[in-house]
Amino acid sequence: MNSEYLVGLDIGGTKTAIVVGNEKLEIINRYEFPTKPKLGFSDFFERLLNYLSKIDPIDAIGVSVGGPLDAQKGIIYNPPHLGWGNVNLRYEIRKYFTCPVRIEHDAKAGAIAEFELGAGRGFRNIIFLTLGTGLGAGIIINGKIYRGSSNMAGEVGHIRIAEDGPEVYGKSGSWESYCSGDGIAKLARYLFPDYFPRRITTREISKMALSGDEKSMEVLKRSGRYLGIGLANLFDIFDPDRIILGSLSLRLPDIWLEEAKNTLAKEALDTGATKKVVKSMLGERIGDYAALITALNALKEERDGS
């Protein structure tokens, strides 16, 4: 079997990456296109197939995508950042490809990637937070990914972190509404509706904060405080060796994470918790490696007959 044609798909709310690699997790080629979720799943899938048709042969496909989803069945359950409804993604892909296919929650895939290649190496208990368009957690306990009774563990973005707030992930005041890419933009409008335009983005808020805009800095500080509260909850419940932060920790001004750590220090029982919060070592490439590792695991499962 030619293992140089493992294909990882990293499907996000903004962009989708197609990563071609081998069993050594060396990236050979990479394609990227806008997801455009508002156009619907059929439109997206047609464009995806167009890219995949350029790759031959394909020995295994791994998909890293935001939840909620059932990794065992390969079904995504209307992820809020995509809005496609319920889709049996594994079934749809298998209509066109006979190779092993595995669907994995992006947070779990990210956790596995950091555990094997990044900031989680050498530890047995870690939590990875996506902190991208949405907010999900990949939880590794005693060296194994934790899935829960229905394969949906880790949907921490849905946790209510405040009595009120912008509505994201189906409820006002969810952790995702305060601390995700979509959430921070909505939080700005929620706090200062007459100041920020309707289509303000978190990237624009970040730039404004760096230039000294006080309201933008207040938005990031407020978000940071709620990030710290959520982190404290995770430390108190799971007592992890490390919590690894994804994309936003690499992109937002330092005041965001500083505020989170200040709050964490006050809230958590673990007095050393702040030192256990680190940024992703894989950085902006984590989505690529997460998807490729998912493809590799699909191949291994096929070989093992599991």
Name 10's bridge partners: 17, 64
Domain ranges of the chain: 3-109+285-304, 121-281
Q: Which CATH superfamily is domain 3-109+285-304 in?
A: ATPase, nucleotide binding domain (3.30.420.40)
Rg of the chain on CA atoms, in Å? 19
pLDDT of residue 303: 85
pTM: 0.91
- Coil vs helix vs strand at 34: strand
pLDDT in tens, 93-139: 999 999 999 999 999 999 999 999 999 999 999 999 999 888 999 99
- CA 166-167-170 angle, 5° bins: 160
User: Which architecture characterizes domain 121-281 according to CATH?
Assistant: 2-Layer Sandwich (3.30)
Query: How many angstroms separate the CA atoms of 46 and 174, rounded?
Result: 33
* CATH topology identical between 3-109+285-304 and 121-281: yes
pLDDT of 58 over the 90 cut: yes
Token pair in block for residue 148: 């829960």
Helix axes 181-191, 214-238, angle to 10 degrees: 130
Q: Which run of H or of E encompasses 100?
A: none
Q: How confident is the model at residue 276 (pLDDT cuts 50, 70, 90)?
A: very high
Q: Which residues contact 149 (CB under 8 A, 6 or more apart)?
A: none
Residue 248 has pLDDT above 90, yes or no: yes
Residue 72 has pLDDT above 80, yes or no: yes
The two tokens of residue 268 are 């958590």
Q: What backbone phi and psi angles, to 5 degrees, belong to 107?
A: -70, -40
Note if the bond before 37 is cis, omega within 30 degrees: no
Given the structure tokens 């190496």, which residue do they identify? 121
Query: What value does the mean pLDDT take over residues 136-147?
Result: 96
